[in-house]
Chain A
């Protein structure tokens, strides 16, 4: 082998970079999201899988529908329950604990939603 003085260190650096996630996470306590679900309700406006995957799309739909097309401000779930199509007055009337609900998954996956650029996190007393 020729040039081993340069090639072997370079290969070690390469393998180190490629396995970065392995040694970065080694020995670190993982923080998988732990959601505090509302105790008084058992169903959301859509099924759980849909909410997990696409709640942000739903929120954008509500926003566009209400603010830009003067759409209805309330909706009805599949099981006939009425709800308000609003982040603060709808979602957060049940999921009032932002820290233990929204932030759990958003922090876990490095998602920075721009909701809070305008909306305020409701205090428990206000609800």
Chain B
């Protein structure tokens, strides 16, 4: 059901774009108004989310440590998995952001005859995640051919590398197909594994299906229906130079592609996709585990509230504690002359030698 909801949402978006592209004025809406709106929501929302996170205090060191911490000189510290300095944290973060190290550590539990529980290395998630992210990066950078004039220097190099198979009249790019394959894997993984399906929400399926839709519409636009790329670039260049206009005929598939991208941009700051910013702000990753070297004080401690030691506490409440039968470290000094009480309460006398 949850996957169906996400699927219906994406199909509805495609249909909306197809219909609106046919309506008079619809192309200006999809091609000019919505891209600006979506980009503004993306930037504004992204900054809002990051600032919102930045307002959350993180008073204590809470890094997830996955290795030997800094200890005695003859015990080797695992500097990347349990960093104690800023440099080590930067190293850890770089490997996490660029190589997805925590996914690489992914394991899978299985039960064998016996019964025996076994944990095995499971790299598929890491492999397809890294293929997905880097293909997406290459695709975005490649699209800069539509947003720079004269064309930025890195674009021809990327296009050469990405299209070096030289298949077809409009050369296929490997990254397009790798992206689709990877996003398909990530989707099927959620659908086919019962335990993943159980914890998956529409918000997990929707971005995958949306990106799948963007990829398919882009491939269709380039290889099947084909649109007038010069008209497209005149529109995109108009957008980035703030003088947009739609000249010539552009096929409906372009507007489907663009609309889905706009939806992705506008949806981005309010979804799990914010891990783009969140990975840098995650306190369990970006903190050094140096609690044993540096004293970290809670920054919003009220200076008017003085420390109250247990000894002082007991001094304050000793009588009440004794009355309530609570054990005390220091017995109250016996009242000067009340021998009758001592005789009458042998229980007290028994306790005395203890103190």
Contacts and interface: CB of A to CB of B under 8 A. Distances in A.
Interface of A: 1-4, 7, 10-11, 14-15, 18-22, 24-26, 28, 30-33, 49, 52-54, 56-57, 59-60, 105, 107-112, 114
A109 B151 CA distance: 8
B147 interface: yes
A109 B145 contact: yes
A60 B149 contact: no
B47 interface: yes
Contacts of A32: 230, 234, 237
A107 to B, nearest CB: 8
A108 B230 contact: yes
Contact of B47 (A11, A28, A49, A105): A11
A30 B241 CA distance: 10
Given A1-B55, A24-B152, A53-B227, A14 B159 contact: no
Nearest to B163: A112
Interface in B214-261: 226-231, 233-234, 237, 240-241, 248-249, 251
A25 B228 contact: no
19 contacts: A1-B51, A1-B55, A7-B50, A7-B51, A10-B280, A15-B43, A22-B240, A25-B149, A28-B150, A32-B230, A53-B251, A57-B226, A60-B168, A107-B151, A109-B229, A110-B151, A110-B156, A110-B159, A111-B229
B24 to A, nearest CB: 19
A107 B149 CA distance: 10
A60 B166 CA distance: 13
B25 to A, nearest CB: 21
Interface in B268-294: 277, 280-281
A19 B277 CA distance: 16
Given A15-B47, A25-B237, A52-B230, 14 more contacts: A1-B54, A7-B50, A7-B54, A10-B280, A15-B43, A24-B152, A33-B230, A49-B249, A57-B226, A60-B169, A105-B230, A110-B151, A110-B156, A112-B159
Which 7 residue pairs across A and B have the least CB separation, nearest first?
Answer: A21-B147, A110-B145, A21-B240, A56-B169, A60-B169, A52-B228, A53-B226
A52 B227 CA distance: 8
Nearest to A21: B147
B58 to A, nearest CB: 7
A4 B144 CA distance: 31
Interface residues of B, number: 45
B266 to A, nearest CB: 14
Nearest to B238: A30
Contact of A30 (B152, B230, B237, B281): B237
Interface string B10-25: 0000000000000000
Nearest to A55: B169
A33 B231 CA distance: 10
B104 interface: no
Nearest to B56: A2
A108 B233 contact: yes
A96 B150 CA distance: 25
B46 interface: yes
A27 B155 CA distance: 20
A18 B241 CA distance: 15
B47 A24 contact: no
A14 B151 CA distance: 22
A112 B156 contact: yes
Contacts of A53: 226-228, 251
Interface string B32-61: 000000000011001100110011111000
Contacts of B57: 2
A15 B150 CA distance: 22
Contacts of A1: 51, 54-55
Contacts of A60: 168-169
Contacts of B42: 18
Contacts of B227: 53
B201 interface: no
A1 B248 CA distance: 49
Contacts of B226: 53-54, 57
A31 B149 contact: yes
